[in-house]
Structure formats: C-alpha cells, structure tokens
Amino acid sequence: MVVGSNPAEPSDQFFQTMAQIVSKSILVAQGELREFVRGCLAKAGLPEADARLVADSLLESNLRGIDSHGVARLPHYLNRIKHGSINPRPQIKAHQHGPALARVDGDHAMGQLAMQRATEEAIALARSAGAGWVAVENSTHCGALAFFALEIARAGMIALAFSHSDSFVVPFGGKFPFCGTNPICFAAPAENGKAMCLDMATSVVPWNTISNAAIEGVTIPEGWAVDAEGKSTTDPKVAKAVLPFGDYKGSGLGLMVDVFCTALLGSPFGPGIAAMYGDPAKQRLLGGLVGAIDISKFRPVDDFRRTITEMMRQWNAQERARPDEPILYPGQPEEMERERRLAEGIPVGVNLAAIFGKLSAELGVPWQVEAN
C-alpha cells in the first residue's frame, strides 16, 4: 500500500499557484486509498454506488492537489453519519420549475450525491433548453466543485458551480466571520480531454486547509487566518476565521455566492448555517447552484474546443516575468499535480494516517499503512 514517504511538498509549479501546507507524510497509491475510503463509507451505511462516487470525488481532489477537500474529510463525514446529520440512504428528488430551471432536494445526503444529481439535471436541461440551472437545498459539504464542473465540460458544455458554508471568512474591514469560504467554479472543454477549470474559494485559503494543518500540528503562513479577537495568527488551532482574497473583491464574491446558494430556495445564510465542525447531530441545510450551457446551440463543439486549446496555448506562451515561473492556465497546475500523484502516490499526513488506522480497527476496513 505504501509507495514511499516525503514531506508532502507539492511540485514547485503547483506550490507557486496554490495555498498549501507542508507536513510529514506518507505516499499511498491512489487505488488503495480509494478502496479504503469506499469501504469506510459502505460500512457507514452508504449504498455501494454512492460510496464509490463519494470516494471518487475525494480521491480526485487529492490527485489534483486539493488536499483540503480530499480524504482528510472522511473522519468528519463518518462522524456526522454516526450522529444522524448526514443521511446515508437519502431519497434525493429533483423538481423542474421551467424549461431551464430545477431544484434538487438533497434529503441531507452526502453533499457529493446532491451535487451529482444537480449536475446530471443541469446537463439534461441544457440539452433541451440550451442552458440549465439547478439549485440545491437540504445538502451537506460537497467537496471540490471541480469534480462536477469537469463532468459538465466532458459533456461538451460550459459549467458554472457555486457552493457555500458556515461562517469562516471575515468581511473586508471586519473582525469576525460572516460568509463561508463560498467557492466559485468554472470549466470549459478543450481538445484531447483537457479543460480550462477555475475552482477557487473566495477566501485566501479554504478553511479545511487550516483544519489539515491543525491535524498535522504545523503552523500556517501569516496572512491566512485570525483568532477569536480578529488578530492575525499562524497557529491553526487558535484560528477562528480566514481572510477574503483580494480584500473587498473576495468579500463581495463570497456574499454573491450566498445569494445564489441560499436566497433562491430560502436556505440559511452566513451566520445562520450550522457549523461544519459544530454539533455533529445538527443538520446543516446547505445549498448550491449548478449551471450548464450547451455549446452546440451556439457553434460546433469541436470548434469551441479548438478555440479553448488555442487560448491556453497562447496563454502559456506569454513572456514570463520570471523565467523559472511558467504562466499556467486555470486548471493546469492541478493537471500537472494529478500526473505526478498518479505516478508517485498521494501524500497522507502521518497524523491522518494514524486516524485512518483507528477507523480501520473500528469498521473492519483494511488499512495497512503505518505512520512512522
């Protein structure tokens, strides 16, 4: 199962573009890690197909270097299933409200399952009407949005996806959190299976990156987070909120995402959302919004793919400000990291590996990695 060990440093090009932590870790083959996650979710009561989809979502995040939304969230999910706030066998329902509009009631499912249903509905609506917008309600944490946006891109469409969370981000000029890290995701298909894909939090860093640092006992950089008094801190265990990216710009976009994900269906917003790491028995009532635009209604999809490919080529070819730092299009750092991790393995922090060992004993799912 173990491929090797390293300090969990991403490739240099990835590190230059993404907010990351560095901690002692072990490298685990992605197939073995995927099977462990799937097995744990199945033992927790998820049907086989659902357990596999959630595992795929988490592993794809890790492969793309987005460890904040990868397998480190597994213990959290299992705890919420155990306490009843995540429904392991939901009855997810879709209701169409017009030629291009629908809502999905997640029935408190794993968020990945609710967003997957919304993705499928958005694609179907776009095939018929040219565009599809699907709002999500009664959901939970859904992981990285790129997993769903890239599925829409593979269908030959442009994707837009939004999600929100409880209060993790201090408004520009404020001291205490209001909005969540409220991510925005966009994807457009290119040639040869590639895609332009921007998946970003509206905060400097996702809150779960802070959580990962706390699990592994490492500090975080100055300028990421503030403590309970609104003062800057480098201690992830003291951190209570993160800062918006781009000052007022990130604050404004975060509030926009709350409008999309809450006001349309009357879900709680900002401070009214049940805390992700609060009472594990309290349902979170999270929302989301997934959109798809059928490119073929405007022009041949192959022509569009060629345009995006040429756009990315010219982007890469621009003169560099620093010769050793390439100019990468949105999604390219993740593509590069994915190739690396498929070959070398996925870094799992030693403390997280120890937690997985305890889950293995509790659930009877094989985990043969020892964190030395």
Average pLDDT, the chain: 94
DSSP 221-242: -TTSEE-TTS-EES-TTT--EE
pTM for the complete prediction? Answer: 0.93
pLDDT tens digit string along 208-248?
A: 999 999 999 999 999 999 999 999 999 999 999 999 999 99
Average pLDDT over residues 162-186: 96
pLDDT over 80 (residue 17): no
How does residue 21 score in pLDDT terms, banded at 50, 70 and 90? Answer: confident
Average pLDDT over residues 20-35: 92
pLDDT over 90 (residue 368): no
Average pLDDT over residues 100-123: 98
How does residue 10 score in pLDDT terms, banded at 50, 70 and 90? Answer: low
Domains of the chain listed by start with CATH number: 1-83+331-372 (1.10.1530.10)
pLDDT over 50 (residue 2): no
- Structure token digits, residue 348: 């799992």
pLDDT over 60 (residue 153): yes
Q: Report which of 165, 198, 168, 170 is spatially closest to residue 184, judged by C-alpha positions.
A: 198
pLDDT over 90 (residue 254): yes
Average pLDDT over residues 342-359: 96
- Structure token digits, residue 131: 């565009």
Please state, in angstroms and as integers, the Cα–Cα distance from residue 225 to each residue in 27, 58, 206, following that order.
28, 25, 10
Look at residue 6 in the predicted model and tell me its pLDDT. 53
Look at residue 69 in the predicted model and tell me its pLDDT. 96
Average pLDDT over residues 335-361: 96
pLDDT tens digit string along 272-320?
A: 999 999 999 999 999 999 999 999 999 999 999 999 999 999 999 999 9
- Structure token digits, residue 59: 């592993």
Q: Which residues make Cβ contacts (< 8 Å) with residue 85, sequence separation at least 6?
A: 108, 140, 274, 279, 280, 281, 282, 283, 284
Look at residue 215 in the predicted model and tell me its pLDDT. 92
pLDDT over 80 (residue 370): no
